[in-house]
Amino acid sequence: MWKFLVKNQSIEVLEREVLADHQIQYVQFKFAFDGDWRRFHKVVQFTQCDETYNIVLGTDGTSLYLPAELHVGAAKMSVFGYDTESDTTVRATTVPVTLNIRPSGFVGDDDPPIPPTADLYAQLLKKIEEVGHGADGKSAYEIAVEHGYVGTEEEWLASLKGEPGETPDMSEYPKTSEVTTIVEREIEAATGDFHSHANKTTLDRLTPELMQELSGLQQFEDRTQYEI
């Protein structure tokens, strides 16, 4: 097991051992965090050649397994963290430490195959899901007992069931089709009353053609009066 102390922007190695390649979920790294690091949301980052592997510790996590993808040679490890409660973006980083991985005596194909380290996005989604589910809390019955309920859980469950309700008698109410007929009849009557007046018969006889003829007569009368 390797042990580290993360303080300010440095990583201090407290305990170390030889690192060999081809290990899977075997070499454990344990971290202690000082100062502000304790409340930060933390991610441990490993880099080797052009590859980067991130492992999310979150706010309370302190240990992880060395990524199995790391092979013989030098690898860099650093830690970065965010203050999730700050109104502004606060990101803390560390100077990386070098890990020297030696060749192991393992010969042959990888069987079982090396499980890939999940990408940062997938790990964050998993952390969010775990926070959403939360730890197993007390049941509703246990909470009821704490608040003075006396009785078995079966009795408590039975007490939650109310008395059966009564189905109302709808036989005296009109059906949907009858309601529609009544509404249409009332609308038709209201429309007829709205257009009723003393000169309704005369006005109904007026047509566009008749109005045009009357307009021509009016113009003829006006022109005649003007000429006279």
46-63 residue pLDDT tens: 999 999 999 988 888 899
Reading the block at residue 92, the tokens are 């803390």
- pLDDT of 176 > 70? The answer is no
Domain boundaries, the chain: 2-133, 182-227
Is pLDDT larger for residue 146 or for residue 70?
Answer: 70
The CA-atom distances, in angstroms, between 25 and each of 68, 87, 207 are 7, 37, 95
pLDDT of residue 106: 87
Q: How large is the average pLDDT for residues 33-50?
A: 92
pLDDT of residue 157: 72
- pLDDT of 29 > 70? The answer is yes
- pLDDT of 96 > 90? The answer is yes
Q: Tell me the average pLDDT of the chain.
A: 78
| CA 68 – CA 66 distance, rounded (Å) | 6
Is pLDDT larger for residue 79 or for residue 127?
Answer: 79
The second-level CATH assignment, the architecture, of 2-133 is Sandwich (2.60)
- DSSP 3-state assignment of 208? helix
| CA 44 – CA 19 distance, rounded (Å) | 18
pLDDT of residue 208: 72
Q: How large is the average pLDDT for residues 137-154?
A: 67
| CA 96 – CA 10 distance, rounded (Å) | 8
Q: How large is the average pLDDT for residues 11-17?
A: 95
pLDDT category of residue 16 using cuts at 50, 70 and 90: very high
